């Protein structure tokens, strides 16, 4: 039985099958519950309202060649989140197979080391944006596929020993498509030079002749690369470009270069792998952690048995044919090639984001820059392993553990995306309940919302999708803006214009036509206002938010409107009517002055055993019971609120003062004096 399994794992399909399994375990288990993230959302909105051709114009000021890729793929695959998540899995598998094919051709005698590289490349943990699928499939993964295809053609031609003009022309065309559509992989062209060098080094003993021959072979691609560099620089410096500017002079000081070298190598080559073990520290026994452990175990076993069963073709090329001819080169062993090419590729991959002055961080959304680094980092770590570790079970176990933990780490990242999508849907359902409709020209302001993978500009498209499902033209009827990122402190004043241009559409509004919202992670959506939900109800909040409350005009909310039609593929099914639905209905009734309805809503909630997570959500009900004459309930809820959150004492004091003209509040004053101690 053991021998049959070993034979099975040595079959040609074993590695593609194992790679497919790793992709599924790392990225695919939660696919049905994934959605759109970051720029996916506005791209899906553009597609829905304008069609695929819109991408050509939308990308003209940024990456003019990229719009054609978006237009082609969205015309074919549409704009459903599930479709793009599946496509993300497929292209991630294809990229792994491409790297496998490429490196096997370059290093034909290092089958096992190549296998390690592609497994690490496939689950590289520092790149954590696999699930921003609509954006990154088009913006990065397809151009990377094209560039790798060009490399494979070049290497295949060299290995065949038969020059072919059509094949060379195709390789150059693929190079053009890979480089001119996005700047992400500009630096990776240097890989082609090293691949040519490695192949020629097998049969060329003279170092000078070797370099000369390599440059001659690389020359057509070097010319294209030079043209691409000149075009990229000139375009980024032109008036037509409207994004990050290239700024090299400030980055070329010796200290800055040294800092960049240390930071990039440490983050991509070491920290990225070591950080994965944090998913099991501390051990909390959560469902996510249990599933991650199962994935870790399964991935380790698959990799261990797959690598152990592969034929050990890792012997070096014949000494007389390789090492003796190249003993003067710094890379006379294949592990040195891996280390050298890995380091060069790491910094080549970092070059575009570094030139734009953008930091490299293993955090959203800067981790997208690792997409051009992950091949180099994988080569580097396997080169080190081949150099420092003897072949044997210990090395097999260590690398299996590294790949297994990276697979589990990616799953835990996937789960954070799943939660964020669910939180986004919940947020907009609460918005629909609390604000059934908004007057056109309204800006929704907030300090920040409890979402990680969607920011204000992305959510602005979602807001318009919900409230303007029949949108036409170029003038957006609604905007959503984060106060902390879009405003200076001095700008948070009435009657200030708000102008937003997003690619091919724009919004024109005014701070006086704003609704300010607030949502804590565990609480319900709240519409802030100077009277009922004022600064005292959000103790500890940023001054950006508290200063903006004076701008909030709830009258812009049409309280008598029905809940807007919600795109199911975007917002999902309407959630069960729990406490936050109750709170939204109570706030709508309060806004309309129907205090009896507010009190009745609370009584119904009690029957259904619903209660708030945050004490502040008792406030409208306390006031409703005062207005309806139920002072006992009002006092009980006041006491409960104070004991749960004493920082709400000022808000409660203001509320009771507000109603003092209509009822006797002496008991409330006594309670507040007793419980709200200075």
Per-residue pLDDT reduced to its tens digit, 621-659: 999 999 999 999 999 999 999 999 999 999 999 999 998
Residue 57 burial (10 A CB sphere; 0-12, 13-18, 19+): middle
What is the Cβ-side half-sphere exposure of residue 572, based on CA atoms within 13 angstroms? 19
241 pLDDT tier (thresholds 50, 70, 90): low
Are residues 518 and 526 in contact, defined by beta-carbon separation less than 8 angstroms?
yes
pLDDT number for residue 316: 42
Torsion of CA 436, 440, 446, 452, to 10 degrees: 80
DSSP state of 315: P
Give 61-91 as a DSSP string: TT-TTHHHHHHHHHHHHTT-HHHHHHHHHHH
Mean pLDDT of 4-32: 84
Per-residue pLDDT reduced to its tens digit, 246-266: 666 556 678 878 888 899 999
Does residue 328 register a pLDDT over 50? no
- Pick the more confident residue, 423 or 246: 423
Q: Left if phi > 0, otherwise alpha if psi is -120 to 50, otherwise beta: which for 444?
A: beta
Mean pLDDT of 522-537: 94
Return the number of other C-beta atoms located less than 10 Å from residue 412's C-beta: 18
Q: Which of 178, 300, 294 is nearest to 228 (CA)?
A: 178
Separation of alpha carbons 436 and 450, rounded Å: 21
Q: Which of 412, 610, 442, 606 is nearest to 524 (CA)?
A: 610
pTM for the full predicted model: 0.91
Measured between alpha carbons, how far is residue 511 from residues 18, 432, 445, 555 in Å? Answer: 56, 22, 9, 14
Q: Which of 464, 445, 455, 467 is nearest to 420 (CA)?
A: 455
239 pLDDT tier (thresholds 50, 70, 90): low
Q: Which of 375, 352, 391 is nearest to 195 (CA)?
A: 375
Contacts 24+ apart (CB under 8 A), 61-65: 61/240, 61/241, 61/242, 61/243, 61/503, 62/241, 62/242, 62/243, 63/139, 63/181, 63/182, 63/183, 64/235, 65/177, 65/180, 65/181, 65/182
Q: Which of 60, 81, 56, 79 is nearest to 68 (CA)?
A: 56
Q: What percent of the chain has pLDDT over 70?
A: 93
Separation of alpha carbons 228 and 178, rounded Å: 11
Q: Which two tokens stand for residue 163?
A: 């020059």
pLDDT number for residue 491: 87
Mean pLDDT of 43-68: 94
Torsion of CA 33, 39, 42, 46, to 10 degrees: -100
Domains and CATH numbers, the chain: 2-239+255-418 (no CATH), 435-575 (no CATH), 577-678 (1.25.40)
Per-residue pLDDT reduced to its tens digit, 58-70: 999 888 999 999 9
Looking at 33-47, 86-100, 659-673, which range is the least confident one? Answer: 659-673
Per-residue pLDDT reduced to its tens digit, 558-600: 988 888 889 898 999 999 999 999 999 999 999 999 999 999 9
């Amino acid at each position: 039985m053991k021998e049959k399994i070993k034979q099975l794992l040595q079959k040609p399909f074993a590695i593609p099958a194992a790679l497919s399994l790793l992709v599924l375990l790392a990225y695919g288990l939660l696919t049905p519950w994934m959605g759109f993230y970051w720029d996916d959302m506005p791209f899906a909105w553009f597609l829905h309202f304008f069609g695929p051709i819109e991408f050509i114009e939308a990308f003209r000021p940024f990456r003019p060649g990229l719009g054609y890729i978006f237009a082609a793929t969205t015309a074919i695959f549409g704009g459903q989140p599930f479709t793009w998540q599946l496509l993300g899995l497929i292209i991630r598998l294809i990229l792994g197979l491409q790297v496998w094919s490429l490196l096997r051709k370059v290093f034909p005698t290092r089958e096992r080391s190549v296998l390690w590289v592609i497994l690490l490349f496939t689950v590289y943990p520092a790149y954590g944006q696999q699930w921003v699928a609509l954006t990154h499939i088009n913006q990065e993964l397809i151009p990377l596929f094209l560039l790798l295809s060009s490399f494979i053609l070049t290497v295949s031609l060299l290995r065949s020993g038969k020059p072919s003009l059509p094949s060379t022309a195709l390789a150059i065309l693929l190079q053009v498509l890979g480089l001119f559509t996005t700047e992400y992989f500009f630096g990776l062209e240097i890989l082609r030079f090293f691949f040519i060098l490695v192949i020629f080094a097998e049969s060329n003993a003279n170092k000078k002749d070797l370099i000369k021959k390599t440059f001659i072979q690389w020359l057509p691609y070097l010319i294209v690369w030079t043209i691409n560099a000149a075009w990229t620089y000139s375009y980024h410096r032109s008036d037509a470009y409207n994004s990050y500017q290239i700024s090299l002079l400030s980055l070329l000081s010796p200290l800055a270069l040294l800092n960049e070298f240390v930071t990039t190598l440490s983050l991509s080559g070491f920290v990225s792998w070591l950080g994965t073990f944090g998913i099991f520290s501390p051990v909390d026994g959560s469902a996510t952690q249990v599933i991650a452990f199962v994935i870790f175990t399964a991935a380790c076993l698959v990799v261990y048995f797959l690598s152990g069963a592969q034929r050990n073709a890792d012997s070096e090329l014949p000494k007389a044919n390789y090492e003796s001819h190249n003993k003067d080169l710094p890379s006379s062993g294949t592990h040195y090639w891996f280390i050298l090419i890995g380091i060069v590729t790491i910094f080549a991959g970092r070059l575009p984001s570094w030139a734009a002055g953008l930091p490299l961080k293993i955090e959203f959304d800067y981790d997208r820059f690792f997409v051009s680094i992950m091949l180099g980092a994988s080569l580097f770590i396997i080169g080190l392993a081949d150099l420092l570790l003897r072949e044997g079970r210990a090395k097999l176990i260590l690398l299996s553990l590294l790949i297994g933990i990276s697979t589990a780490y990616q799953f835990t990242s996937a789960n954070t995306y799943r939660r964020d999508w669910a939180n986004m849907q919940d947020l907009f359902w609460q918005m629909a309940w609390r604000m059934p409709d908004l007057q056109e020209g309204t800006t929704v302001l907030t300090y920040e919302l409890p979402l990680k993978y969607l920011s204000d500009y992305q959510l602005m498209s979602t807001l318009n999708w919900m409230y303007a499902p029949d949108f036409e033209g170029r003038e957006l009827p609604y905007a959503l803006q984060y106060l902390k990122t879009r405003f200076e402190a001095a700008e948070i004043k009435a009657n200030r214009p708000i102008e937003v241009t997003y690619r091919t559409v724009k919004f024109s509004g005014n701070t006086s036509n704003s609704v300010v919202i607030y949502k804590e992670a565990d609480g319900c959506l709240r519409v802030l206002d100077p009277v009922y939900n004022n600064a005292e109800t959000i103790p500890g909040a940023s001054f950006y938010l508290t200063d903006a409350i004076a701008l909030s005009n709830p009258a812009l909310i049409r309280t008598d409107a029905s809940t807007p039609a919600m795109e199911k593929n975007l917002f999902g099914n309407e959630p069960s009517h729990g406490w936050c639905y109750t709170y939204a209905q109570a706030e709508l009734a309060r806004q309309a002055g129907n205090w009896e309805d507010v009190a009745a809503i609370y009584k119904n909630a009690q029957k259904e055993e619903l209660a708030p997570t945050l004490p502040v959500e008792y406030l409208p009900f306390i006031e409703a019971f005062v207005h309806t004459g139920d002072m006992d309930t009002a006092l009980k809820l006041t006491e409960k609120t104070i004991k749960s959150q004493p920082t709400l004492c000022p808000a409660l004091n203001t509320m009771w003062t507000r109603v003092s003209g209509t009822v006797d509040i002496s008991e409330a004053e006594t309670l507040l004096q007793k419980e709200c101690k200075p």
